[in-house]
Amino acid sequence: MDLSLTPDVYSRDGDIIIGGLFPIHYQGDAPDTGFKEPPDPAPCGRLEKIFYQMAQSLVFSVEEINRNPHLLPNLTLGFSIVDSCDTVEQALRGVMRLLTGRKQALANFCCKAHPPLAAIVGDDKSYMTIPVARLLGIYRFPQISFAASVPVLSDKIQFPSFLRTTPSDVDQAYGLARLVIHFGWTWVGILAEESDYGVQGSQVFYNQLQEAGHCVDFFKFLPMVISRETTYSLVKIIKTSTATVIMVFATVYFLAPVMDALARDGVQGKVWLASDGWTINTILNKPYQKNTLQGTIGLSPISGKIPGLDDFLYQVHPFRATEDKFIKAFWEEIFGCRWDVNGRNQTNIGAAVKSKACTGKEDLKVLNDSFYSADQLWAAFNIYNAVYAIAHAVHEMQLCNIKEEEEQDKVRRVYICAHKVRVLELKHFSSD
């Protein structure tokens, strides 16, 4: 892997740095491979507004902690946010850049000892998080994911430095099985994403039904890259199945083509049990899908109100955060305009598509956009808790050796304690 091709980073200096890893852009189209030279990495595609919101949630949390005189007094938190572009390759490049402090990263080499990196928050998807967790586990470097939920990540032998602020899929698979058993549905179908998330979660669900004596009509997987033929095959299986109840353990991006085909085919009368990967996502809310999805029952991640976050998101502006490498692309995406930068816009979309120019006078408050919808803030709440967990842990590290190291400067003292603790441990605290 060429470590010189690192993604963009949005950074702000501080005494202690918190790293962030988010798929702020979609994965772009893979370049053609000629098999005569190493292939270039897939470029980043369009900006994903929800994941930009997640990155901003980390910024908000850091700024709030810096205003708190009782948490980390005399220390300022900074951050370094990397765009993984929804690819494992870019995620690993970004992590190496965070660990080494170099754009052209060298393994096992760090040229940036000051300020120290406390922990990394991210990534979101389980299949993205697992390789990152394996890499960070080698160095026993703490990582907190806000959404990766596969059970295997709880294995401390494989992932010694991995933590998360979202529950394991074992819990929601067990909960979905309890629903089936409670309502006496003895004949069900299972559709699962062909990833760690879908395979492991659906298997726990299946085992629970088997133990309860319930029967499964079909157990099929959604490929990560789904063809039209596979889509039609799955639609036929679902249409002809005598099972009324179908449990779907998948993320919305892989489920959407099949659900769209079912809706266009007029399939109705099914009871869908939804995992948290698609329960609250707004992609499946098109008018023609209403009859197909009517009666869906799902589990959604626990969330909470973060005072001040809404106002913070409304105040995001390209002229106020010039160090934000992603904000102009966000502005183009949400307002449908373009910033003219050397004849190109920020989102790699042709000028013909985005004909009007961005001026900076656009107002976020006039938008009626799901970017500010409360049901999308569950991830922001998990990120908020992750950042506060890191801050409380660093606070404990700061206190652990304060008497022994009076002659040391404040950052050096925390850095020494961090080496003694080695792995960040989540602290119990109130986020009210």
pLDDT of 102-156, one tens digit each? 666 666 666 655 678 899 999 988 989 999 999 999 988 899 999 999 999 999 9
307-314 contact pairs (CB < 8 A, 24+)? 308/60, 308/64, 309/57, 309/60, 309/377, 309/380, 309/384, 310/372, 312/56, 312/60, 312/63, 313/53, 313/56, 313/60, 313/364, 313/371, 313/372, 314/364, 314/365, 314/372
pTM of the model: 0.85
- CA–CA separation, 426 vs 386, rounded Å? 9
Q: Give all domains of the chain, ordered by start, each with its CATH number.
A: 9-166+305-421 (3.40.50.2300), 169-298 (3.40.50.2300)
Q: What is the pLDDT of residues 283-310, one digit of tens each?
A: 888 889 999 999 899 988 777 889 999 8
Per-residue pLDDT at 350: 47
User: Is the model's pLDDT at 218 over the cut of 60?
Assistant: yes
- Beta-sheet pairing, 25-27 with 245-249: unpaired
Residue 327 has pLDDT above 90, yes or no: yes
Bridge partners of residue 318, in order along the sequence: none
Q: What is the mean pLDDT of residues 186-203?
A: 95
Taking only Cα atoms into account, the Rg of the chain, rounded to an integer number of angstroms, comes to 23
- 188, 214 contact by CB (below 8 A): yes
pLDDT surpassing 70 at residue 40: no
The per-residue pLDDT for 412 is: 56
Between CA 145 and CA 382 the distance in angstroms is: 8
Tens of pLDDT, residue by residue over 238-288, are 999 999 999 999 998 899 999 999 999 999 999 999 999 898 777 888 889
What SS3 class is residue 208?
helix
Cα separation values, 151 from 137, 201, 402, Å: 17, 8, 38
Which backbone phi and psi does 133 adopt, to 5 degrees?
-65, -35
Cα separation, 383 vs 351, in Å, equals: 35
**In terms of Cα–Cα distance, which of 164, 198, 187 is closest to 243?**
187
Instruction: Write the DSSP symbol of residue 8.
Output: P
